[in-house]
Structure 1
């Protein structure tokens, strides 16, 4: 890996994801450093700055964008504010890493039309920065086990905090925005393309958010993905891929171990009564450190660093639109632009 000067980051918002995951990853990365943090509550911003050794704390997001020492920003705000502040950051000349989902609707991304093409903007799906996921895509593209035909995934946890922003539909609450955006992205990543249509069922609570969503994605040519996400079930996280000549499993698919090796299991047996499993091991890692490191490398012009641009973010949002449309109609919904 090439060496570059550290990218100086600013953080918009004092959310738990920033405090517990992204900033610690940033401070461990040799390619990044946290320069400033802004929140509506200066005390909260200052406490977080002191805890992580961040140089400056501000009482507004605009102050971070005005800081000449900040080159890139990480947006850790509620979902409905992501695009607005991504635009403001781009207008201030900053590169932008937007916490997922980057937008609640595909049409929201029109707010980012016309930004400086020299700026790097990406949706923060840290999972696809794992060396394991990168190797998975290489395996699938090389066709070692034939074409992937079926993808299935479970992703869930039990949400117990009634004050969580994920309980608010107007802020982009619910299982699909929080978890389904991951599983849809993962299916697109595995098939290396876009679904043509989706069929979805949602179970909503009294507040109007989906607590359980089940989706089928049709990629054409016999290729299908199915996944379930929930905020009201025990913790689960799995990915299974059936290729023409191999069955691939990713244990702990979305939140890998930070202390034990992470695995890809490949079963090439043609007989249900037997198994022929190859195990690929990857070192324990902090995937948020990988995410910030790789995006910093992209900013510094490293062409070998994985990068997913706004076109990818728009495509994932188009799937989201179709999922909600299908859940409303009870039938299949086409994915626009597919």
Structure 2
């Protein structure tokens, strides 16, 4: 791997995801350095800067963007602000890593039309930076086990904080925006295709956010995906993929262990009464470190996993169809598929 000066990062927002995951990943990476952080509350920005050894703290997001030494920004704001600040960051000449979901609707990405094509702008799905995710997609693409035909996933946790921004529908709250964007992306990633249509069922609470969402995705050619996401049940995270000649399981699919090996399990038995499992083992991983490292490498022109705005728009198109289906009770076409 080529050596280069670490990319100098600015952070917009003092959110928990920045404090507990992304900034520590930057600190741990040899290819990234958190240089500046901005928050609406200067005191909060200063406290987080002191905690993580960040040199500059600002009382606004605009000040981070005006800092000439900041090369890339990570947007850790509520969902409804993502595209607005991504545009402002791009206009300031910064590369942009947008916390997921990058936008609440596919049409929102029109605000990024015409940005400098030299800038790297990506939706922050850290799971795609796991070496085992990358390896599994390579295995599926090889055809060694035949075509992958079905994908299924569960992703849930119990949300207990009544003040959480995910409680607010106008801010992009709810299970789908928080979790379903992951599962939809995972189905697209592993089936290596875009869905043609979706069917969705949502159960909303009194505040108007979806607490349970179940989705079927039709990819055509006999390929289907299904998933369920929830903010109102016990923690779960699973991915299972069935190929023509193998059943693949990804334990701890979305939040891998940072202390124990992470696994891919491939069962090629043709008999329900038996198993013939091959286990592939991967080292313990900080996937946020991997995310900022690979994005920084892409900024420097290195060969690294990178997903552009076209991928983000495709995932948002699925989101649009999911909400349309839940509203109509029928199938909804995925626009652009």
TM range (shorter): over 0.9
Q: Do structure 1's residue 324 and structure 2's residue 301 form an aligned pair?
A: no
Question: Are 1:114 and 2:114 an aligned pair?
Answer: yes
Match of 1:81 in 2: 81
Matched pairs, number:
337
- SS of 2:237's partner is strand
Q: How does 1:25-104 map to 2 (within 5 A)?
A: 25-104=25-104
Q: Which residue of 1 aligns with 2:188?
A: 188
Residue 300 (str. 1) matches residue 300 (str. 2): yes
Partner of 2:203: 203
What CA deviation, in whole Å up to 9, does each residue of 1:210-252 have, x standing for no partner? 0000000000011000000000000000000000000000000
Deviation at residue 193 of structure 1 after TM alignment: 1.1
Please report the TM-score for the alignment, with normalisation by the length of structure 1: 0.99
Counterpart in 1 of 2:310? 311
Looking at structure 2, the residues matched to 181 and 289 of structure 1 have their Cα atoms a distance apart, in angstroms, of 21
Aligned equivalents of 1:73 and 1:21: distance in 2? 15
Structure 2 unaligned spans of 5+ = none
SS of aligned partner of 1:154: strand
Match in the other structure for 2:256: 256
For the residues of structure 1 that align with 2:222 and 2:87, how far apart are their CA atoms? 39
1:13 equivalenced with 2:13 (yes/no): yes
Secondary structure (helix, strand or coil) at the match of 1:225 reads strand
Which of structure 1's runs of 4+ aligned residues deviate more than 3 A? Answer: none
Deviation at 1:125, TM superposition (A): 0.1
Q: Quote the offset at 1:2 in angstroms.
A: 2.2
Cα distance in 2 for partners of 1:150, 1:112 equals 34
| Structure 1 partner of 2:169 | 169
Task: Compute the RMSD of aligned alpha carbons.
Answer: 0.4
Task: Provide the residue aligned with 2:231 in structure 1.
Answer: 231
Cα distance, 1:285 vs structure 2 = 0.8
Q: What is the distance in 1 between the residues matched to 2:97 and 2:318?
A: 21
Aligned partner of residue 239 in structure 1, secondary structure: strand
